[in-house]
Amino acid sequence: MRVVLGLWADRHGGRRLFLAVMIVAAVATWFVADATTFPTILVAGLGTGIAGGCSAVGLSYITRWYPKERHGTALGILGTGNAGAAITKFAAPWVMLAYGWQGVARLWALLLLCAATVFWLGSAEDPKQAARRAAGQPVALLARQVEPLRRLRVWRFGLDYFFTFGGYVALSVWLPRYLIAVYGLDIRTAAAIAIAFSMPCDLFRVSEFFPTAAAPTK
């Protein structure tokens, strides 16, 4: 989905696509609470998984607002969105104990719709897309957009990212259940321990962008 969303963001602008991704993810998250069969859970999971590709939209949208020497800082701030995994582990167990796991899905869906509304009202189209639309220029050719896929290094970096970030996501999701099943911990204690793993990872993800920012030239 990151490849697809990245292509769409370059062609149609990140602002509209960001809004669409948040709405689709919110609807799918609400649908999780009402899913009663395994196939419906898979469909809802596909919808919520689309939100995982929003970083590709953010990379395209945010970098167009800043010169290259400030990309590292801007993308580092974008990376703080991963802290949501730790915040969820902290808050979700309390919500689940009070309202059930369905309450968690519904509340998170409503929060996501609120975030989508704030984003839409407080954002603007990036300068490049705005200038293209004002001039009536056509979108970039698809063949030109996918040209980097011909380079082996793109696939190699993608594979590296698949294992490193994918491992982080898998451990973040699996760790609370493992601690409950193997060590008999209650869900709040297991979530607290999982936060101790995911929060430092989130902070490192933020810091990884800052060295890429080049010193401004005179």
Query: In three state form, how does the secondary structure of 86-129 look?
Result: HHHHHHHHHHHHHHHHHHHHHHHHHHHHHHHHHHHHHCCCCHHH
The CATH class of 2-211 is mainly alpha
Residue 218 has pLDDT above 80, yes or no: no
**Range 103-128 burial, b when 16+ CB lie within 10 A, else e:** ebbbbbbeebbeebeeeeeeeebbeb
Q: Which of 54-68, 80-94, 100-114, 196-210 has the lowest mean pLDDT?
A: 196-210
Residue labelled with tokens 């607002």: 65
pLDDT of residue 145: 84
**φ and ψ of 146, to 5 deg:** -90, 5
Q: Confirm if 90 and 194 have CB atoms less than 8 A apart.
A: no
DSSP category for residue 209: T
Residue 210 has pLDDT above 60, yes or no: no
Residue 196 has pLDDT above 70, yes or no: yes
User: Which structure tokens are listed for 44?
Assistant: 């809802």
Residue 216 has pLDDT above 70, yes or no: no
Rounded to an integer, what distance in angstroms lies between the CA atom of residue 10 and that of residue 19?
15
pLDDT tens by residue, 83-123? 777 778 778 888 888 888 899 999 999 999 999 999 999 99
Q: Confirm if 19 and 116 have CB atoms less than 8 A apart.
A: yes
Residue 10 has pLDDT above 50, yes or no: yes
pLDDT tens by residue, 127-160? 888 888 888 888 878 888 888 889 999 999 989 9
